[in-house]
Amino acid sequence: MLLTSVIIILREVLEAALLLSILLAMSHLLHLRLRWFYIALAAGAAGSVAYGMQLAAISDAFDGVGQELLNAALQIAIYLLLLVIAPLLVVNYYTGERYRGILSAAMTVAVATAVLREGSEVFIYLSAFRYSPQPWSGVLTGALLGAGIGFSVGALFYYLLVGMPRRRALLVTCVLLTLAAGGMVLQATQLLIQADWLPAQVPLWNSSVLVAEGSLTGQMMYALVGYEATPTSFQVIIYSASVATMALLLLLTRYHQKKIRTVRDVSQAR
């Protein structure tokens, strides 16, 4: 029970902690106020409790697959928000002050959604033991250990990004957000396959021999890139397309901002 709790809580906490740490680090480097962060945490925590308390009604919706569909919708929503956030981080890096209100709002909603999504899973898991005859000590100890490891990894990412030069930190952040965005879409497709809204296919490969999904490395990769040991061809295509979309959007944004800076420098030189 202890090990099971560690793995389950670690998996949920790690996903939210990594996204929080990345956006919090960029907020620090771009000198954004942290009001958005506290609002997001409060809204996400309240939403996760509400989700957990309404789980029965949610699960019964859509012929018994309401939970899978709602979770998939939340993952897709985070992906769409990251499509807004990442380019705005690039714009703010080059301009300093533009669209900060939109950026803060998008980060607030993205973090709140992530906390709601992962926090609800933690709430549901722990609530399942309320009427269990088994002692709570193993469950709570495992939950605390899993949460501690997850938040520690998130803190490590935060301080690594904050300690980098701004330009390198932006590059690493864009890469991490691109991979995380692809992972969100991949997880959404997995949920839609479970709900029979997408067709199940034969896996292209099985990499569990190299990296087991239940291992710490597997959990890290799942949180970062949505690691799936047995992906189907459809999942690989969807993941590649979502990552390519984010990467192309970032490259176009960077090209546009550098072009604007060049024109401005030339005009000032005259």
What would the pLDDT profile of 229-261 be if each residue is shown by its tens digit?
889 999 999 999 999 999 999 999 988 887 777
pLDDT at 133 over 70: no
pLDDT band, very low/low/confident/very high, at 225 (cuts 50, 70, 90): confident
CB 20 within 8 A of CB 156: no
What would the pLDDT profile of 5-56 be if each residue is shown by its tens digit?
888 888 889 889 999 999 999 999 888 889 999 999 999 999 999 999 999 9
pLDDT of the residue at 134: 67
Task: Provide DSSP, 43-73.
Answer: HHHHHHHHHHHTHHHHHHHHHHTHHHHHHHH
Question: Residues of 173-199 as b/e, b for ≥16 C-beta within 10 angstroms?
Answer: bbebbbbbbbbbbbbbbbbbbbbeebe
* Ramachandran region, residue 96 (left: φ > 0; alpha: ψ -120 to 50; beta: rest): left
pLDDT at 265 over 80: no
H or E stretch at 203: none
pLDDT at 58 over 70: yes
Q: First-to-last CA distance in the chain?
A: 71
pLDDT band, very low/low/confident/very high, at 262 (cuts 50, 70, 90): confident
Nearest by Cα to 121 from 9, 19, 18, 223: 9
Mean pLDDT for all residues in the chain: 89
pLDDT of the residue at 7: 82
CB 218 within 8 A of CB 227: yes
pLDDT at 215 over 90: no
Query: Is the pTM for the entire model greater than 0.75?
Result: yes
pLDDT at 268 over 70: no
pLDDT of the residue at 270: 61
Nearest by Cα to 168 from 64, 26, 268: 26
H or E stretch at 182: helix 166-194
pLDDT of the residue at 227: 86
Q: What angle do CA 127, 132, 134 make, to 5 degrees?
A: 120
pLDDT at 269 over 70: no
What would the pLDDT profile of 79-111 be if each residue is shown by its tens digit?
999 999 999 999 988 887 678 899 999 999 999
CB 192 within 8 A of CB 68: yes
d(C-alpha 203, C-alpha 192), whole Å: 16
Nearest by Cα to 238 from 188, 202, 199, 196: 188
Q: What angle do CA 207, 241, 111 make, to 5 degrees?
A: 85
pLDDT at 130 over 80: no
d(C-alpha 9, C-alpha 66), whole Å: 22
What would the pLDDT profile of 154-213 be if each residue is shown by its tens digit?
999 999 999 999 889 999 999 999 999 999 999 999 999 999 999 888 998 999 888 888
Radius of gyration for the chain, computed over Cα atoms and rounded to the nearest angstrom: 20
Return the half-sphere exposure (C-beta side, CA atoms, 13 A cut-off) of residue 17. 24
